[in-house]
Amino acid sequence: MDTHGNNGISASGGARVSHAVVASGSNARVDFRVTEERAPAAEERPLTPREISELLARFIEDLRASEHPDREDLAEFAQDAREELAAPEPRTGKLRRVARALTEAVPGFAALASLAVTIEEAVRGL
């Protein structure tokens, strides 16, 4: 058996990894261990509503390019969340329900699932 290892998580571009690891490919597995508890880095701050809206826009774009059977309905649902985030006082309860629903709707689509988890965690930080 050919095994490839990685002594860390690599993320590039606008990628963000937070409490979730995705392995893709045939027979892919993840062995994730925390070796040291540290205080969060100074740059680890809650995302702003605008930043969450940008993540949702990327989610919508990726969703529409996917083969998900409910992609248009889910994209519309995510767009509703973007509009809620633009409100003067966004309803965080509604946003949490939307974020949870998006996460639950895309478990078989690794890239979408990872992004949905990031969005859900960011909404919890509002």
Mean pLDDT on 79-100: 94
Q: Is residue 64 part of a domain?
A: yes
The CA–CA distances, whole Å, from 62 to 2, 33, 45 equal: 31, 29, 25
Which domain does 88 fall in, by range? Answer: 49-125
Q: Is residue 22 part of a domain?
A: no
Lowest mean pLDDT among 9-13, 75-79, 93-97, 101-105: 9-13
pTM for the whole thing? 0.65
Q: Which residue has the tokens 């965080």?
A: 92
* 111 φ, ψ (degrees, to nearest 5): -65, -40
Q: Is residue 36 part of a domain?
A: no
Q: Is residue 83 part of a domain?
A: yes
Looking at the structure of the chain, the number of domains it has is 1
Q: Is residue 79 part of a domain?
A: yes
pLDDT digits 0-9 by tens, 31-73: 544 444 444 444 578 899 999 999 999 999 999 999 999 999 9
Give the span between the Cα atoms of 13 and 87, in whole angstroms: 29
Q: Is residue 7 part of a domain?
A: no
